[in-house]
Amino acid sequence: MTMGAIARRITRVITAVVCVAVSVGVSVATLHVPTREGGGERFNPARYRSDVIADTVINHTTGVDKTQGTGTAGSPYDNKGYFPEAGYTPSDFHAPCSIWTYRDAESVWNCQVSGLQDLDTSSPHVRDVLSDYFVKLLDYGVAGFRVDAVKHMPPEDVLAIKKLVAKKSGRSMNDIWWTQEVIGDNAEAAEIQPRNYLKTGQVNEFQYAYRLKSLFSNSLAGGSLSIKDIPQNITDSGKASVFVTNWDTERNNMTLTYKDGDAYRLANAFMLAYPYGAPNVFSGYEFHDTDSGASGATATSVPDIDCSKDSGWSCTERWPDVHGMVG
């Protein structure tokens, strides 16, 4: 598939979605909230806006273990830093090094996470390329962005990129919805904590998901944490995006997943009712190990979502207790 064909497909998807009343966007995909199962009162979608949110990876590119190759759109790359379609050359990347500690911000910002080539986001050229990418997605019709691996970039770099996006697109910074993956850990450097990225947009509040697992896996009345304590000492509600699980945490046993049955269902309904943060409902596919892919997926494609019984997909947004709470 060529770059042009991919662009046309993305545009068609977004155009189709904005004609539907309710959706949750993930990676330029949408999860539709259906009518109630089994008849009865129908959920009225007309009161809700439909948006597509793009999941963007801007800190790094391919792994250095891949000497060279060709992307699914036909664009070549290598592990020296040559990405001609994107406009990157080796000078656009930090010198190769591995993160030696998360207690040193410079190590986290300037070295390779999991062996992935690390872009120098302080470079005007890199900022220009990345901001053009965001603007192109906005022109396609996306409403905003989930930005991956944000704590691996200095806060001032991320803010500068968003300012460029606003300037080039003719939008206000506040009109570009922007949530950031910043996994907080008090044992790590103070400079990479979520609070440092709040000037740019929301941050994913991972502690919220961890606390839900603790509460809903055990007695709600037991332990040192109660429901009213959930928002304590974490990101302010207006700047937090929250979830019960996501595509990373479900694989490392840090959060509840569809495998937890009723506890998972209850936690999702609770999240949609509890007055904290912007809730994100995760729908994905069943997995059996850390690297499991979707049923029927290949190296270059993933089949359309199939929410029928025993399909291998976990369509959380279709559960009555979830879309009922959205309503």
Active-site residue set: 148, 181
Would you give the distance in Å from CA 105 to the centre of its chain?
22
Round to whole Å and give the CA distance between 77 and 238.
Answer: 40
Round to whole Å and give the CA distance between 132 and 137.
Answer: 9
With contact defined as beta carbons under 8 Å apart, do 211 and 255 qualify?
A: no
What are the C-alpha distances in Å from 148 to residues 54, 217, 226?
Answer: 10, 28, 31
Nearest residue to 22 (alpha-carbon basis) of 48, 54, 42: 48
Residue 204's DSSP bridge partners are 241
Round to whole Å and give the CA distance between 127 and 135.
Answer: 12
- β-strand pairing of 68-70 with 76-78: antiparallel
Nearest residue to 198 (alpha-carbon basis) of 227, 178, 214: 178
Round to whole Å and give the CA distance between 177 and 201.
Answer: 7
Round to whole Å and give the CA distance between 82 and 78.
Answer: 6
